Amino acid sequence: MSEPKIRVAVVFGGRSTEHAISCVSAASVLANVDTERFDVLPVGITPEGAWVLAPGASTLAIEGGALPSVTAGTEVVLSGPRFVELREAGASGVLDDVDVVIPMLHGAYGEDGTIQGLLEMSGIPYVGSGVLASAVSMDKAFTKRILAAEGLPVGEYELLTRNDRTLSQEQRDRLGLPVFVKPCRAGSSHGISKVTDWAELDDAIAFARSVDPKVLVEAAVAGREVECGVLEFPDGRVEASLPAEVQTDSDWYDFEAKYLDESLELHIPAKLDDAVLEKVRALAVHAFKAVDGEGLARVDFFVTDDGDVLVNELNTMPGCTPSSAYPKMWAVTGIDFKTLVSTLIDTALARGSGLR
Ligand SMILES: Nc1ncnc2c1ncn2[C@@H]1O[C@H](COP(=O)(O)OP(=O)(O)O)[C@@H](O)[C@H]1O
Ligand SMILES: [Mg+2]
């Protein structure tokens, strides 16, 4: 008799601004699960927060510039002694017992420790970082504080909490122009603007605040954008992929450049000196460990012309769309998408749940 298959729920969509990208990421993960070993249950979360048994992968791609979304489906209720049990609404039996969850959610209510907490409460193993690492990495200000405290290089910034109206003259002088104004807890460049004249600052703050009341204002770093994949193996080893350089025709890497622009190019490995590539890889693993990361992350950097390397941010559930850097970097490093997904699941199962 063959081994029973491991049941994997892939959860996607969700309440954040990155709903659509999460759907596309989930579609590529669903297409790359090893069906010899795993049975998959796709579970969508609508933008309003309802859980539904979602349609298959075919309807989850970006088509002709239109973004996908979880809309209808059989409603799922979360209930039971373990809290997370998936039942069809109105039915009495448990729909499916799940061995492990892939929370393929980006942004708030997903990548930020919230679903990780729900799964911890339920004792269900899941792919990726736990509550603390997810929450810290989602918050760009806390990320910088922790990385700086660990001696990692980060850029200059000022934080505006919800009661701070704008930057003082002293803060403006310290940062200098241009600056990037961004929501503290978002992704896919939502709510971000580049400000080249202080007269534009308050509008940029208001725009960022439409996504998150906490806003970060960063000194612009002149440099190349380099990303590096981090992967944890079931035996606890943590490795960095070959880094990628992102190049676009646009001035900076905004939403269109990321997902809709044909001019986007990824160079893997990034065309940098070997010493700089190795520095990026070492810093990626260091940053991952500094926030107590688990499973996977993509660590993003700026590399200046002098070869200085600054950590921009950590993404604990990086995009896995067909154009995403994370799976591509691993493919060039020698781990294809299917092996990558199996590794993520095996690492989650090896770790189990609870304090570790
Ligand atoms: N301090 C900065 N200096 C230069 N470019 C920046 C800076 N901050 C953000 N950017 C540009 O904006 C993009 C998105 O910013 P990022 O902080 O990575 O937010 P997100 O989480 O939305 O990806 C970056 O990839 C880069 O192109
Ligand atoms: Mg980014």
Q: Please identify which of the residues 129, 134, 188, 193 carries the catalytic annotation.
A: 188
Query: Using N-to-C axis directions, what is the helix angle for 131-138 and 140-149, rounded to 10°?
Result: 110
CATH classification of 136-154+223-351 is 3.90.1150.10, yes or no?
Answer: no
Q: Whose CA is nearest to atom 2 of ligand 1?
A: 220
Phi–psi pair at 223, nearest 5 degrees: 175, 180
Name all residues whose Cβ lies below 6 A of ligand 1.
Answer: 155, 180, 182, 186-189, 192, 218, 220-221, 225, 252-253, 300, 312-313
Is 346 labeled as ligand-binding? Answer: no
**pLDDT tens per residue across span 201-213:** 999 999 999 999 9
Average pLDDT across the chain, whole number: 89
**pLDDT tens per residue across span 146-200:** 999 999 999 999 999 999 999 999 999 999 999 999 999 988 889 999 999 999 9
Q: How does DSSP classify residue 86? A: E
Please state, in angstroms and rounded to a whole number, the distance separating the CA atoms of residues 166 and 189.
21
More confident residue, 128 or 353: 128
**pLDDT tens per residue across span 62-121:** 666 677 787 766 666 655 455 555 656 555 445 557 889 999 999 888 889 999 998 888
Strand order, beta sheet including 215-219: 157-160, 215-219, 179-183, 193-195
**pLDDT tens per residue across span 13-24:** 998 888 998 999
Is residue 59 pLDDT above 70, yes or no?
no
Centre of ligand 2 from the C-alpha of residue 253, in Å: 8
How many CB atoms are closer than 10 A to CB 275? 9
DSSP E strands, the chain: 6-13, 38-45, 51-53, 74-78, 86-88, 100-103, 157-160, 179-183, 193-195, 215-219, 224-232, 238-240, 244-247, 265-267, 296-303, 309-315
Please state, in angstroms and rounded to a whole number, the distance separating the CA atoms of residues 215 and 321.
27
Residue 292, pLDDT score:
97
Q: Is 18 a catalytic residue?
A: yes
Is 37 labeled as ligand-binding? Answer: no
Q: How does DSSP classify residue 355? A: -
Classify domain 157-219 by CATH number: 3.30.1490.20
Residue 55, pLDDT score:
59
Q: Ligand 1 atom closest to Cα of 190?
A: 22
Beta bridge partners of 311: 154, 301
Mention the CATH class of domain 6-126: alpha beta
Q: Is 324 a catalytic residue?
A: yes
Residue 29 CB burial class (10 angstroms; 0-12, 13-18, ≥19): buried
Q: Where are the domains of the chain?
A: 6-126, 136-154+223-351, 157-219
* Count of CA atoms in the C-beta half-sphere (13 A) of 350: 15
Work out the percent of the chain whose per-residue pLDDT is above 70: 89
Instruction: Evaluate whether 215 touches 182 at the Cβ level (below 8 Å).
Output: yes
Centre of ligand 1 from the C-alpha of residue 100, in Å: 33
pLDDT band at 57 (very low <50, low <70, confident <90, very high): very low
